[in-house]
Each structure stands twice: as structure tokens, then as C-alpha cells.
Amino acid sequence: MTATLLYEDRQPFALSGADRNPLRLTLAELARATGWERKPQGLCRGETCVPEPPDAAWYDSSSGEIDLARFAAHLGQPVATDDENRVVAIGAPAARRRDALLSLEAPDFELPDLDGKLHRLSDSRGKKVLLFSWGSY
């Protein structure tokens, strides 16, 4: 069974190989699935680098793998797992979502319409937007 990682707002990432644990990734997989890369100063994504504390031990030098559960715990990210189907979802930390709202800058997103065409909120910059949520239920 293919293991799958759902990382923050990224597309699902399927891990190749049998009996994979979606919480243990090689460095190459880590970069593709999450955008984080291991550098001398720690794990980095864009301008942000997270130094590895002595007790964190999220990098296993013997296997060359990152333990994503430990890294997520360090960042305060929520983790949801389904062992039976080998799927893990790691969300954004609550503090990041809250800070984004408190900045007052409307968080951007990309979603499809009924025909599958993608739209971004930022496409409407320069116009007032009523962002209206509804449901068929």
C-alpha cells in the first residue's frame, strides 16, 4: 500500500516503496513533500531556518531520514494519522493561522470552480471582495 503525506496546504505526496512510514522521509522526499531542506544551520524553508535543539533528534544520521513527528511537535503542528491506510496529515500551527488573521492581510488561496478552472483570491486585488461561504447541505 502506498503511504501518503498531506503536508499543510500542499498537494498529497505519495511515498514510493513498500511499508513506508509517512512520518519518516529521506531528505530528498522532505524537500519535495514539505519544502524544508537540511542545511548546516538547521531545517530551512525560504527565509526561515529552524536550528535543531540537542534533544530534538529529528534527523537520524544512520538512516538519513527525518522524523517528521518530532519536527512537527517542535513547530507546534497538528498531526493526524490513519495507520490502516498509511496516510498522515500535518497541518499548519494554530499560531501561524491566528497571526495571519491578526495581520489583517486576507490569506490567499487557490480553489477550483465547477469546471475545474483555478481561481486565486489575489486575482481580485484592486476590487472589494465579499468572500461568502455556503454549502449544499
Partner 1 sequence: MIAVALDTAGGAAVREWIRPSDLASRPKEMMELMGWGPELVARAAAPTFPCLIDERHLLAELYDLVNVPMAVWIDERGRIVRPAEPAGAGDSFRKLDMATFTVPPEAAELGRKRRGVYVDALRDWVEKGDRSEHALAPEEVRRRVRGPSGEHARAAAEYRLGVFLYRAGRLEAAKRHLAEAVRLRPESWNYRRNHWMLDPGAVGELNAGPEFWQAVQALGERDYYAPIDMAGMPPAK
Do 110 and 119 contact (CB within 8 A), yes or no?
yes
From the list 14, 28, 57, 129, which residue makes contact with partner 1 (rule: CB under 8 A)? 129
Sites for partner 1 among residues 58-97 (CB under 8 A): 76-82, 84-85, 87-94, 97
Residue 119 is a binding residue for partner 1 (CB under 8 A): yes
Number of residues that bind partner 1 (CB under 8 A): 53
Cβ neighbours of residue 49 closer than 8 Å, sequence gap 6 or more: 39, 41, 42, 43
Q: How far is CA 100 from CA 50, 62, 93, in A?
A: 20, 38, 11
| Buried b / exposed e along 55-66 (16+ C-beta atoms within 10 A) | ebebbeeeeebb
Closest to partner 1 by CB, 64 or 78: 78
Residue (31 or 106) nearer to partner 1, CB = 106
Selected binder of partner 1 within 40, 55, 62, 134 (CB under 8 A):
134
The label of the residue with cell 478552472 reads: 117
- Which amino acid does the sequence have at 24? R
Residues that bind partner 1 (CB under 8 A): 4, 6, 9, 12, 76-82, 84-85, 87-94, 97-102, 104-107, 109, 111-114, 119, 121-122, 124-137
